[in-house]
Structure 1
Amino acid sequence: MDAIVWSIAATWTMFAMFSAVVVLNADDAGVPILLILMLVAGAALGLVVVLRALLRQAAAVLKNGRAKAVHFSTWKRCAGS
């Protein structure tokens, strides 16, 4: 799993560097805008995928009983409010 995360991070870093070089050396605005949009869209999609995986993992932990959900009213009483 860690190798996959590191390879994705390395790919995005290389793509960001390539985009920076293209944006700084571009003569027209079309290609830099396209690369920046692709970079932003990919980052947003990556964030959605990561958050979805974290949510699934948290749901599995709660389902297996290794952690207990705390209701807000219980937390409020424990916090002394």
Structure 2
Amino acid sequence: MPSCPLQQGIKLAERIRKEIESTSFTYKETRIWVTVSMGITEYIRGQDLHQFIERADQALYRAKNSGRNRVVAI
């Protein structure tokens, strides 16, 4: 999200996570519940694209490893 401060990104990600968590989906006539983990980071001036994606990936794995269904920012 261009020009979006980290805290605003976290709030949006948390809203999305809660919406997914509270929505039931139907697959082949079976209700299923879905959760999502998200890694959030902020672009640091001078970072290249690889470094930026690597930081977001690290945040995602922290979210998964700390219990899933959460938003982690670094």
Q: TM-score range by the shorter chain?
A: 0.3 to 0.5
In terms of fraction of residues, the more helix-rich structure is 1
**TM-score, normalising length from structure 1?**
0.33
In terms of fraction of residues, the more strand-rich structure is 2
Give the structure, 1 or 2, with the largest relative contact order (CA under 8 Å, sep 6 or more): 2
**TM-score, normalising length from structure 2?**
0.35
